[in-house]
Amino acid sequence: MSTRISDPKAAMRKTPRQARSRATVDAIVTAGARVLDTRGWSGFTTNEVANVAGVSIGSLYQYFPNKMALVEAIRRRHFDDVLAVLRRAHGSGRPSRRLIGALVNDMISIHQDYPALHRTLLDLPSHDKTKSEFDTFHQEYLREYEAIVVAYRGSGRGKAAKLTAQVLSSAIEGVVHNAARRGALADAKFKRELASLVSCYLGETPQGNDKSTSQRRKAMASGASQDRI
């Protein structure tokens, strides 16, 4: 579990407003994710990030005062990527089974490029602002999962949908993170198995409520991981 610290410097110096400066920041954050993924925290230096990004160290420090500020930017980008995947899934108007396939494929995709990054982020210290941002993200995250449950089942929101969303999100997180650690995210069979697991939990049909489906849900709920994406 990460440690919370108070660090007002762990924030960007300024927000990029012009297209060129936004492109520079995007390149720095992308390079930061790559370095953190391949070298871990011990090999994560601003000089290395600047080198990989193809920018001067001065350009990096123009936006990020230290490594933690860059880490927070990487975290925020991942939060945004996750929410975008969830919104696409329930807002696509796809048939139920295609909805699940798209959700699984997209969730795997955003973890596949940097499989070791997310474990590193979980282990790194965070500060008070990060805790607040994570709480805000997590509330929205569960709302989006609830919307997926509603879209799949063709039902309304409520306590049952909220509980299903909590279990579903925990299950997908645990399975994806485990696969990332084992280097199994690119395995087509793994994708099919995860999609099958999600479909079984939600029901073979949007309104599925047969006894076997209920049993699968209970089994899945009892073993759901508590990892966070």
The pLDDT value given to residue 93: 74
Residues of the chain with pLDDT under 70: 1-14, 16-17, 125-130, 204-229
The pLDDT value given to residue 7: 44
The pLDDT value given to residue 225: 44
As given in the structure block, the two tokens for residue 146 are 């609830």
The pLDDT value given to residue 114: 86
Q: What pTM was computed for the model?
A: 0.76
The pLDDT value given to residue 206: 42
pLDDT digits (tens, 9 = 90+) for 143-162: 999 999 998 887 778 899 99
The pLDDT value given to residue 134: 79
Burial class (CB in 10 A: 0-12, 13-18, 19+), 186: exposed
Backbone angles phi, psi at 116, to 5 degrees: -90, -15
**Amino acid at position 218, single letter:** K
| Beta-sheet strands, E only, within 89-188 | 126-127
The pLDDT value given to residue 167: 95
The pLDDT value given to residue 3: 31
The pLDDT value given to residue 49: 97
